[in-house]
Structure 1
C-alpha cells in the first residue's frame, strides 16, 4: 500500500469516527440535520478526501472509492438510528406533557338554552317552512311608506291610532309590525309568493303583565292566482293543529287596513277562548301599491305575537319575565 493510499484511508477513518461521536452527542432533530449536511453533503469532508485520488496510482483508486462508500454508509446508518431514537423520545415527551388525569374533576360549563321567545319563533317559522313558505326579513327601522302608506293606512286613518308609533328625529320610525316586510318582498319578487316573516317590533305600549314596548311577531303572506278565504282558513287550521293539537278554532270578523275581509282567530285552550292571531285577504290597494294586478292575483296574510304564544304554551303569567334574564326562570326551558 502506497503512502498516499494510507493517508487517504486514515482520513476517511478519522471522518467516520468524528461523525460517529458527533451523532451520538446530538440531542435534537435540527442538530441532526445539520450534521447530515456537514458529513454527507457535497461540500463535506468525504468529497474533499476523494479529491486527492488524482495522486494515486490507477490501481489504488477503486480501493479508496470503495472505502469512501463504506464510510458514507456507516455515517448514514448511524444518522438513521439516531433520528429514530430522537423521534421516539420526542413522541414520548409529547405524550407525557399531554397526559390527562381522568380522575380529576372536570371544569363545569353550564349548557346554554334557547330563549323561550326565540324557541317559539323558530317553532312557528319551522311549521310554515314545512308548508312551503320561505323566510323573509326586513329592517327594524322603517319609513312611513313601508310601515303604513303602502299597507293602505291613510295619513289620517284612525287605524294609526291603534298602533302608538315610536318616531325618530329623521322622520323614520321603529316598525310597529313585520307587515312592512310584505311590501319590500313583493316589490322585488313576482307572484306566486309564500313567505313567513319573523322579527322584532316596537310600540309605545305601557309595560305591564301583558304588554311590552318591544315585542316579536311572525307573519305570513301568500299571493297567487285564485287564492280564497278558504285557503286562508285551511292554512291557519293546519298551523294551529301542529302548534296546539286538536283544539276548537273559530274565526271572528275584524278590521285591518291591509286586509279585506279580516278576522281574528281564537282557539279553545284550557276551557276558554284565546285570541291567537289576526288574518284576512290582502286588500287590493296593497297589491296595487307593489305593482300586482288585483284582477289577476289574490292573497292572504296572517300575523301573531310570539310572546303571547310563548306565554300560553309555557303557562307564563307575566310577559316581563321573558325580558329579565333571570336564570331561575330561563333554566326551566
Structure 2
C-alpha cells in the first residue's frame, strides 16, 4: 500500500511531545500471546501481515503476553527485510520478569510459552533486565516506546525505581518515549501529574461502557501534552460480540453490563451501524486521544476491525449513545 493510499486510521500522528508517531489504530498483540485461547505461529504471522497490509504501523506488546510469546512473534515478523523497522513504531512494557518455572495451564488468562512464570519487579534493575530480555527475545535493536505495566499495587517501587530508570534510558536515547499502561485511571493520573511521561496506555476505561478516563485522566494529559493510547475498546469482547458468554474486563460480563451493552447495540442497529464499529471509533472523538490499540488473533479479525474503522457513523448515533452514558454501572 502506497502512502497516498493509506486510509485515515493509518495516519501517523504525534505521540505527545516525544517526537514518536503512531498510526491512529495500532495492533495490540495480547491475543497473539494466547489471551483466552491459543494461537498458532502461522495464524499469528498471518494476523501481523494483514495488519501491515492494511497500513497499521503501530504495534504494542509486552513480556506478559504469553510469557514472551507475543514479543517473539512480533519481532520475527518485523525483522523481515520487506518491513523496514523505521517504517513502524513498537512499544513494549516492563514490570514483569519471566523466570523458569511451571505455571498452571492458562495462567493469567494466557496460553503462551511453557516453563516460564511472571514475577513482578518494578526496580531500576528489573527495568534494565526486562528490556534487555525483550530485545533478545524479539530480535529487535530497540523499542520506540516503553511502558511501566500494571503497577497497581507497586506505586512506590514504580515511581522511585522503574520511572527513573526509563527516564535515564530516554535521556540516553536508548528509548524514544516512556509511559505507563494500566486498566485504571487514578494512578495513571497521578503518574501524569507527578512525573514527566510522554504517553499513557489506558485500557478499558474510555469506552462506550466506561468513560471514567474523561473525568480526570484525559484533561490532565491534555494539559501536559501527554499522548493517550486507548486499549480495551471492546472491554474484553462484549462490545464486539454480545454472546451469552461475553467477557467484560477479563471476566464473564455481569448482567447490568450486558443490559447496558444491549441498549447500546440496539441504538447502533437503529442507525445501521455495528456496535463494534462505534466502540472502536468512540475514543478517537476525544481531542486528548492520540490513537486506539485493538487486539486481533487472526487475519479475519484484522479485516473486520478495518471495516469497523472505516464505517460511517452519523452524529445522531453519537448523540443517542451519549444519552445512554452511565447505564449499567
Interval of TM-score (by shorter of Structure 1 and Structure 2): under 0.3
Structure ID, larger Rg: 1
Q: TM-score, normalised by structure 1?
A: 0.21
**Bigger share in helix:** 1
Higher relative contact order (CA 8 A, sep 6+): 2
Q: TM-score, normalised by structure 2?
A: 0.21
